[in-house]
Structure 1
Amino acid sequence: MYRTFQNGDEVGIVELWNEVLNRDPLNARRFRKQILLDANFDPKGLIVAVDKEEIVGAILAITRKLPMEGTNLESDTGWISFFMVERSYERNGIGHQLVKQACQYLIEQGAEKVFFSSYAPNYFLPGIDEAHYPKGYAFLLKEGFKKVYSPVAMHRALTDYEYPLSIQQLKKKREKEGYSFASVQDGDFYELIQFANVHFNPDWGRAIREGALQSLDPSQIIVAKKQHQIVGFVLYGGYEGIRERFGPFGVDESEQGKGLGKILLHETLQTMRKQTILGAWFLWTSETSAAGHLYLKNGFQTFRKFHVMVKELTNE
């Protein structure tokens, strides 16, 4: 039997999640915060498969009810945030039926395409991890999803971190040229959020705003300025209050090539080390991008790779 979410299902879904998606365990608090309290959550988009009153499969489909910025609801786009089927029930068509019903829900909401799983703000992973969930990746391909791009997650241990002298000297040189690097001030927030929205993406601006409204201390956000105008920023601990989680991080494209990113990166790693944080990690970058090269050259290592997938939606 297939039905939509109802009160009490959260217990069975979390249990099934930790059995099937065991590389990425979940607790009730995260489920509540990132799914049930998501402004875009609709119980009709959370579909479960039930056998003998036990949840044996689940999928979450999402469309925007609240825009990331302005009034844009991305009404032609939907997302599947997760799917899973109990192992003993695999190859019985349950996964196919869950995807079919999720896609039908998205079509009824006006979506013309669906992504797995690059949904912001409350994504769990950027996409499918082929190495750890090979059956899940093969299933998405079978269901008509195509790979769009493959972001990576990176980590850097800070147990042996030392602020490089060369970066300290570069910072002094840039400061003499009129640049500054310091913790965000209250009066900076409006400009910083607009800078993140315009130069990068609205999810970054949201991360700054929501982090500051919750537990994020201003010392965890460092901004680079040129003649009092923000040209770059970086923060840590902004997602879910996880101190070790690095980013978002970006420099104005017109200011790249001056080492501002390297300075911001090491200023932040040094700040984290002072807080006895023993590692820095993030979920999403491209290994071939300028940021990816910067990370790799400064001690970060790739520890997971994901595939963002997309499927065109049609009434069958």
Structure 2
Amino acid sequence: MYRTFLSGDEIGIVGLWNDVLIHDPINEKRFRTQVLLDANFDPKGMIVAVDGGRIVGAILAITRKLPMIGTELEPDTGWITFFMVHPDFERNGIGRGLMEKAIDYIRGQGAKKVFFSSYAPNYFLPGIDEFAYPSGFNFLLKEGFKRAYSPVAMHRALTDYVYPDAVKVVKLEREQEGYTFETVRDGDMPAVIHFANTVFNPDWGRAIREGLLQGIDPSQILVAKKEGRIVGFAMYGGYEGIRERFGPFGVDDSEQGKGLGKVLLQEALHSMKQRTVQGAWFLWTSEKSSAGHLYLKNGFTTYRTFHVMVKEVD
């Protein structure tokens, strides 16, 4: 039997999640924060499969009801952020039934395409990890999803970290040219959020704002300025209060090629080491982007690859 979300289902869904998505377990607090308290959550988009009162399958479909910035609701787009079926009930058509109902919900909201699972702000993973969940990847292909792009997650141990002398030289050169590198001040916060929103994307500005509201120390946000104007920033510990999680991080395109990103990255890693953080990681970049090359040159290694999948539904 299929039905939509009811109070109390969260317990069964979290239990099912931890039985099925074994590489990415969660707890009820994280489910509450990222699903139930999401401004875009609609109980009608959470479909479960039930057998004898037991939840044996679940899927979450999302359409935007609160814009990330301005009035943009992305009305042509929907997202599926997770799906799962208990191993004992696989190959019974439950996954397909859940997917059909999720797509029907998204189509009914007016969307013309659906992504798995690049939803901001509350994605769990950027996409499907083909290595960790091969059956899930094959299921999406069978359901008509196609790979859009493949972001990677990276990690760097900090146990042996030392601020590189070569980067100290670059920092000094830029400072002699009028650039400054410092921790964010209260008066800088509106400017750095606006910079993240407009130069990069609204999810980055949201991450800064919510990280500060949730109590991270402002010294966990590093900014680069040119004549008092913010031209780059780096942050850590802002997502879910996880100290080891690095990002967001970026430098204005007009300032590329001057080593500003390299300096900001090392300033952030050094700050993390000062706090006895033993490693830095993040979920989402492209290995072929300028940021990806910078990470690889500075000790980060790729530890997971994801596929963002998309399907036309109109």
Q: Same fold (TM over 0.5)?
A: yes
Residue equivalent to 1:13: 13
Q: Counterpart of 1:238 in 2: which secondary structure? A: coil
RMSD: 0.5
Instruction: Say whether residues 1:234 and 2:228 are aligned partners.
Output: no
Instruction: Say whether residues 1:247 and 2:251 are aligned partners.
Output: no
Paired residues for 1:1-316 under 5 Å: 1-314=1-314
Q: Give the aligned residue type for 1:58.
A: A
Deviations 1:65-117 (A, max 9, x none): 10000000001100000000000111111000100000000111111100000
Deviations 1:217-247 (A, max 9, x none): 1100000000000000000001000000000
Deviations 1:49-74 (A, max 9, x none): 00000000000000011000000000
Deviations 1:144-183 (A, max 9, x none): 0000000000000000000001101110110010000000
Q: CA deviation at 1:189?
A: 1.0
Ranges in structure 1 where 5+ consecutive residues have no aligned partner: none
Task: Give me the identity figure in percent.
Answer: 71
Q: Counterpart of 2:35 in 1: which secondary structure? A: helix
Q: Counterpart of 1:264 in 2: which secondary structure? A: helix
Q: Counterpart of 2:241 in 1: which secondary structure? A: coil
Q: Give the aligned residue type for 2:14.
A: V
**Matches of 2:21 and 2:215, distance apart in 1:** 29
**Matches of 1:163 and 1:107, distance apart in 2:** 51
Q: Give the aligned residue type for 2:13.
A: I
Q: Counterpart of 1:131 in 2: which secondary structure? A: coil
Q: Give the aligned residue type for 2:55.
A: I
**Matches of 2:219 and 2:190, distance apart in 1:** 17
Q: CA deviation at 1:216?
A: 1.3
Deviations 1:266-309 (A, max 9, x none): 00000000000000000000000000000000000000000000
Ranges in structure 2 where 5+ consecutive residues have no aligned partner: none
Q: Which runs of 4+ in 1 moved over 2 A?
A: none
